[in-house]
Amino acid sequence: MKTHIKIGSRESALAVRQAEIVKEILEKKAPGLTVEIITMKTTGDRILHKSLEKIGGKGLFVKELDRALLDGTIDLAVHSLKDMPMEIPRDLPVVAYTKREDPRDALILKAGKISLKQGGVIGSSSRRRSLQAAKLYPRCVFKNIRGNVQTRLFKLEHEDYDATILALAGLKRLGMEGCVSRIFSVDEMIPSAGQGILAVQGRKGEKIPGVEALDDDKSRIAAKAERGFVRYLDGGCTSPVAAYAEIAGREVRIRGLYYHEESGQFTAGTISGEAHQGEVLAKRLAKSLKGRF
């Protein structure tokens, strides 16, 4: 049994904080274990002047960490689940889904502004967010913005943007929720599949002390349902397809959004049922929404 492990993380402040959350739990639940965080810059972090869909999708945020796991440089990798590709290597399974942080999206206005006026520019690199926000702010325009939380907030203040939209989970983990101007409900803006959940990835068959303490049953059920919805619709990492599963007791309620590329239209719906049937229900909802076109 290992007594010292290395956790791989992207270099951003948020990614490091997320790795620290995992480190703290492991060291608490496995006395005698020491944990080191190894950071690295991924291809997705280096290329910020192009949209993800033009450079290969969100897999660009994980491939360096995958390689480090495979060659033994690190023992675990921590990712925002929403940033992970739908297909995960069999040799590198997700060994834990952490307790979910707030899954909602949040609007941040440029300093000094109290509202968005006609023609206001909203920075968003997510078509999912832009499509749904366009219904809430029909008089605004959307402009691509990429980078980590601090980079986007810097661009908001110094470039031609009036607002941006970020995941509330990341802002809370960084202690930055004070900059939020509006929090969108999950009905106003259905979150990205897995938003708010951290995925801890390891090597197949390898036991790491304390990992079981990281896993949250509700998060695992929600993650599989949401990603099952997206997978059924062939929704790649840059697709505006969205899903959110809310679990209460033994019941689950799944919200889903499907975008029809040919018509440029999207539709949303919900389905409820027993939580252990989450993946089946999610696929049923996905099939129903797709059938509307």
Q: Which residues are catalytic?
A: 83
DSSP 187-251: TTSPPPTTTTPEEEE--TT---TTGGGG--HHHHHHHHHHHHHHHHTT--TTS--EEEEEEETTE
Compute the distance between CA of residue 234 and CA of residue 32 in angstroms, rounded to an integer: 44
Across 132-184, where does the E strand assignment appear? 141-143, 163-167, 182-183
176's CB contacts (< 8 A; 6+ apart) are 149
88 and 148 Cβ atoms separated by less than 8 Å: no
Parallel, antiparallel, or unpaired: how do β-strands 105-109 and 76-80 relate? unpaired
Q: Please state, as a whole number, how many other Cβ atoms lie within 10 Å of the Cβ of residue 212.
A: 12
- What tokens were used for 51? 């949209």
209 and 2 Cβ atoms separated by less than 8 Å: yes
Compute the distance between CA of residue 290 and CA of residue 10 in angstroms, rounded to an integer: 35
- What tokens were used for 166? 């970020």
